[in-house]
A and B are shown apart, each in its own frame.
Chain A
């Protein structure tokens, strides 16, 4: 029941967000129609980083409590986060080509995002290479914690090195109020999407876990 409400709310928010992107918000004077990718790109970025934070929380909780449910939460969040960060990078490149003339620049935020992508990939690869549940959970928890702690350091290092990304527009007040609202609706809509995906993915993992327990019982374990 609860997830049905969430899915309904999510659907409505997504529709509202799409309407806002294509009909409500005015076209940006400087960059034109392509700027509308911003309303997709920023929520994706927010979720990519938030999902990784959830991976951190799940990792710490697993190492502390040793309950595999935390591992299921972390790994589900990592899978979803990896998808979102990949989409974020792709949408960023699509936006960059017409606006900056190049697909990619090695500035602070892009480079940090790319490194985060690799850390996510390392997390998922480690899980693929370890068969035993407990060991896999421990190892990926370690990668999750170390990876998350590394991200601010990467950002500092790259920021010191170079900066070309447009400044954090939201905080500089360079946004018209329609743009701000579209962004907010987008962030809320994508957070709800993330929550729905996470709940469903964790439910699947829980089912898999129960099936394994039953299999073990039947085979006389």
Chain B
């Protein structure tokens, strides 16, 4: 598909720029691990209590780290008028959305891939299970879908990156609720039937907001 190949080129541009500067991955990674440590200062309880709090702490970490990384996505474009450059390219606006979204998705997944084992280490929980990886993937797609749209919107306002959390967190509330509850079920070893509904809600969120953001994105970056 032409749109996908153009989007992949845009995503590749972001990946290339990131491998050279490493600004998003390193800062977001350090931030995420710091948040986990601060949580430990905040909630130093018995190992049983920590196990109960673990899903919540994990997803708060991912949510805040996600916002940080999504912000960078379009701030970079705003500097040096890169966004205008992108718009002059023979790519549709939708392709820009898909490309930026895929790039952000990859960065967030990379950060999560490092943070999960660190989290497992610090909290003595086992996180390398397929359902947990699946829910992380689904939820991150949701974050990227809405976050890319709002990031493009936020950098064009006076308050710039400070607006993104205000827009982002209420909208991704279903994803956070779903991810936390599903993670809790997974860590507790519950059967699939008890958590399938959560996967369903997050999957529905992903589909709906990928489509809507895709359709609405051109309105954000038009001249």
Binding site for B on A (CB under 8 A): 63, 115, 118-119, 121-122, 125-126, 129-131, 135, 138-139, 141-143, 145-147, 149-150, 153-154, 156-158, 160-161
Contacts and interface: CB of A to CB of B under 8 A. Distances in A.
A139 B208 CA distance: 19
Interface in B124-157: 146, 149, 153, 156-157
- State which size class the interface on B falls in: 20 to 34
Contacts, number: 82
Interface in B167-200: 167, 169-171, 173-174, 177-178, 181, 197-198
Contacts of B213: 146
A115 B174 CA distance: 10
Q: Is chain A's binding surface mostly helix, strand, loop or mixed?
A: helix
14 contacts: A119-B170, A122-B166, A122-B170, A125-B166, A126-B157, A130-B156, A141-B219, A143-B153, A143-B167, A146-B209, A146-B216, A149-B208, A156-B174, A161-B177
A157 B178 contact: yes
A142 B153 CA distance: 9
Given A63-B219, A142-B219, A153 B198 contact: no
Contacts of A160: 181, 197-198, 201
Contacts of B171: 119, 146-147, 150
A153 B200 CA distance: 11
Question: Lowest 8 A-B CB distances belong to which pairs?
Answer: A157-B174, A118-B170, A129-B157, A153-B174, A157-B177, A129-B158, A129-B159, A119-B170
Contacts of A139: 153, 156-157, 220
Interface string B73-113: 00000000000000000000000000000000000000000
A104 B126 CA distance: 35
B173 A145 contact: no
Given A125-B166, A131-B158, A153 B216 contact: no
B205 interface: yes
B8 interface: no
B220 A142 contact: yes
